[in-house]
Amino acid sequence: MTDNKPLLEIQGIGKAFGGVQALEDVEFHLEKASINGLIGPNGAGKTTLFNVITGIFPPDSGQIRFAGKSIQALEVHERVRTGIARTFQNVELFESMSVLENILVGMYTRTRSGMIESILRLAHTRREEKQARDRAMELLEFVGLQDYAHQKSSDLPFGWQRLVELARALAAEPRLLLLDEPAAGLNISETNQLGDLILEICSRGITILLVEHDMSLTMSISDQIVVLDQGKKIAEGPPRDIQANEAVVEAYLGKGKN
Amino acid sequence: MQDKSTYILYTIFTLGICLLGWSIDNSYYLQLLIFIGLNTLLALSLNMLMGYAGQISLGHAAFYGIGAYVTAVLTTTYQVPPLLALPAAVGAAMLIAWIVGMPTLRLSGYYLGMGTLGFGMIVHIVFREWSSVTGGASGFVGIPPLEIGSLSFTSDKAYFFLVWIVVLLVIIMCRRIIDSRVGRALRSIHDGEKAAAAVGVDTRTLKLQVFVLSAGIAALAGFLYAHLIYFISPGTFGFMASIRIVTMVVIGGMASVWGALFGASLLTLLPEWLHAFSEFEMVVYGLILMTVMIFMPRGLTRGLLDIYQRYRKHHDR
């Protein structure tokens, strides 16, 4: 059966910007319903790898396979449809819209009504809209923000905006969720809440790839860690092994970081 | 959710139209109101593209002109009944928008502005130079009045009601689109194209769709214009006309259906009021626009709302 196959396979990915080799022969895979930490010093190529996986730019070499199929030819929005959702390092909510509307946009790939249907507002269009709103409220409840559904998203505190973005990504019903520094700017209790949410999301069968500088969070929730340094994978394994890995310690200390 | 207040607004709007229509008999005022209606249609059309999807068009008068010329040629030269010419005029503009939009909407920001500017100029030149069909620079004369069955829209009053019913329908249509799956996706493009794509919005297809829709509404205005005036000439649909539409949207307030109405009214009425300044008319006109933009950069509608809210806050204390 295909059940044992990894969800995401990264094979020999290379990417250069001008003369800078941002990624070099990066290779790993993600098991289904697992939490995977992607760590490395600043400039290691983590965000570049996210952008390659989500299709923002193509890799110079290598292949990405998702659920057994190559996704090379798919555009950004098509990859969301196949089941890859993401959040951004700097939170990119739609600021002119309410919290609820942000989640509803997240459902774009899972709803169908087109422009003409929206003008006519026939029964099935209204039903779809109603279902979408109910589902969006469920997702807001999941992150604990149901009481703020009608607030403008830009009026929420930063930590909550991160949760809205998480709910928006879940609205696309992904099989793979990429989180780009989800704990940045959060306080300790918010970070703990985030950790619980991520575990809960994973328990629903969603695979998570997490870029995070908060080591205690990453190490405590990840099943598997991949370490990048200067565009190359230098280690891979369970958190315990990674913490003891000499190359990893060197990469971090060599950069003057903790 | 906001359905109730929306219906109240529609009702007020409808009552307003009826009240104005029945009480005004002066043909000058009726004509002015008809022009406000046509300009509202144009502003609504561009507002969908600029205000909601965040794409600029500096050649929008071209679609207005295509709507007017297609119906002029069909109803006059080929004796097609206006009711059949209407879908042809709107359809032609939409088809051309689709063809032009395919490559141009890959551009963004200033480049899209330049692309649409060029398109507007080409269309204007075609109107002027293709004399055998369009009548050239001296214009196209003898366009028949609108007659639908036994209804004939020859009086100013009848035309007033026709235009404003169309405006109401287009407003309802726009608001329905905005508050739907597609509309939210459009607004997401405006807020951040990168993030919109990252949540699965097919930005290119959607931009093309709204461009085509927008062209259709502009052509509808052109159709109504041609059968109102019975005479059209290229000058009406040139670069300055495109800029005027942009100004209406910006002054009224982007991303607001009622802002489009407001902007169109102001820009139609202002030149009439400013006749008193005779040769200084354009100077005063420019100054007013500058003042609005400096003190109310989000447009008049939002600007006045902000002032009202500040006033209320001040008094509540």
pLDDT bucket at A39, cuts 50 / 70 / 90: very high
Q: Output the pLDDT for position B1.
A: 42
Give mean pLDDT, residues A204-219: 93
- HSE-CB for A144 with a 13 A CA cutoff: 10
Asked whether the predicted pLDDT for residue B166 surpasses 80, the reply is: yes
pTM of the model as a whole: 0.90
All residues of chain A having their beta carbon less than 8 Å from the beta carbon of residue B201 are: 77, 105, 108
A58, amino acid identity: P
Say if residue A258's pLDDT is above 50. Answer: no
Length reported for chain A: 258
pLDDT > 70 fraction of chain B, expressed in percent and rounded: 98
The nearest alpha carbon in chain B to A111 belongs to: B181
Into how many domains does chain B fold?
Answer: 1
- Does residue B111 lie in a domain region? yes
Residue B273 has what pLDDT?
A: 85
Interface test with B, best of A94, A109, A126 (most B CBs within 10 A): A94
> What distance in Å separates the CA atoms of residue A170 and residue B254, rounded to the nearest whole number?
31
The residue that leads in pLDDT, B112 or B200, is: B200
Name the band, by pLDDT with cuts 50, 70 and 90, for residue A11: very high
- A94/B contact by beta carbon, under 8 A: yes
Give chain B's mean pLDDT. Answer: 89
Q: Is A134 on the interface with B (CB under 8 A)?
A: no
CA atoms within 13 A on the CB side of A227: 22
Amino acid identity of residue A193, one-letter, is Q
Provide the ipTM: 0.88
Note which residues in 100-129 of chain A have CB less than 8 A from chain B.
101, 104-109, 111-115, 117-119, 121, 125, 128-129
**pLDDT greater than 70 at residue A3:** no
Nearest Cα residue to A107 out of A88, A131, A91: A131
Which residue of A71, A77, A97 to mutate against B (max B Cβ within 10 Å)?
Answer: A77
Is pLDDT of A179 > 80? yes
- For residue A1, the model assigns a pLDDT of 45
Let me know if residue B285 belongs to a domain. no
Identify the contact set of chain B against chain A, taking CB-CB distances under 8 A. 1, 173, 176-177, 180-185, 187-188, 190-192, 194-203, 209-210, 213, 255
pLDDT of the residue at B2:
54
For A72-91, the pLDDT digits (tens) are 999 999 999 999 999 998 89
**Integer Cα distance of A94 and A101 in angstroms:** 9
Phi, psi torsion values for B275, nearest 5 degrees: -55, -30
Asked whether residue B308 is assigned to any structural domain, the reply reads no
DSSP letters along B226-286, please? Answer: HHHHS-B-GGGGSHHHHHHHHHHHHHH-TT-HHHHHHHHHHHHHHHHHGGGGGGGHHHHHH
Does B245 reside within a domain? yes
- Closest by CA to B220, choosing from B77, B130, B97, is B97
pLDDT of B296? 79
Q: Is residue B199 part of a domain?
A: yes
Nearest to residue A181, comparing CAs of A44, A11, A21, A27? A44
Question: CB distance A106–B199 less than 8 Å?
Answer: yes
Q: What CATH number is given to the structural domain containing B153?
A: 1.10.3470
For residue B139, tell me if it sits in a domain: yes
Contact B199 A108 (CB under 8 A): yes
Chain B hits for A104, CB-CB cut-off 8 Å, are 181, 184
Look at residue B21 and tell me whether its pLDDT is greater than 90: no
The confidence band for A164, taking pLDDT boundaries of 50, 70 and 90, is: very high
User: A234 — phi, psi (to 5°)?
Assistant: -110, -15
In chain A, which residues have their Cβ closer than 8 Å to the Cβ of B181? 104, 107-108, 111-113, 118, 128-129, 132
Cα–Cα distances (Å) from B250 to B39, B75, B109, B121, B285, in that order, read 13, 35, 16, 22, 15
Identify the top-confidence range among A8-22, A39-53, A239-253, B215-229: B215-229
pLDDT value of residue B317: 61
Output B112 or B100, whichever has higher pLDDT.
B100
**Which alpha helices (H) appear in B150-232, and where do they start and end?**
156-178, 181-191, 193-198, 203-229
Domain-embedded: residue B217:
yes
B301: pLDDT confidence band, cut at 50, 70 and 90?
A: confident
| Residue with tokens 């093309």, as numbered in its chain | B208
Structure tokens at B229: 């005036």
CB contact (8 A) between residue A94 and residue B195: yes
Say whether B200 and A77 touch across the interface (CB within 8 A): yes
Chain A residues with beta carbon closer than 8 angstroms to that of B205: none
Checking if the pLDDT of A211 tops 80, the result is yes
Q: How distant is the Cα of A156 from the closest Cα of chain B, in angstroms?
A: 17
Instruction: Please report which helix (H) or strand (E) contains residue A134, including its range.
Output: helix A123-143
Spell B203-229 as b/e; 16+ CB within 10 A means b: bbebbbbbbbbbbbbbbbbbbbbbbbe
pLDDT (mean) for A23-44: 92
- Residue B283 in any domain: the answer is no
Which of B180, B203, B204 to mutate against chain A (most A CBs within 10 Å)?
A: B180
Give the residue numbers spanning the domain of B38: 4-272
Reported as a single tens digit per residue, the pLDDT across A99-137 is 999 999 999 999 888 888 889 888 889 999 999 999 999
Q: Helix axis angle, B239-252 relative to B27-47, nearest 10°? A: 80
Provide, as residue numbers in chain A, all residues whose Cβ is less than 8 Å from the Cβ of B1: 150
What is the per-residue pLDDT for B312?
81
**pLDDT value of position A82:** 94
Does residue B150 register a pLDDT over 90?
A: no
CB-based burial label for B278 (10 Å; 0-12, 13-18, 19+): exposed
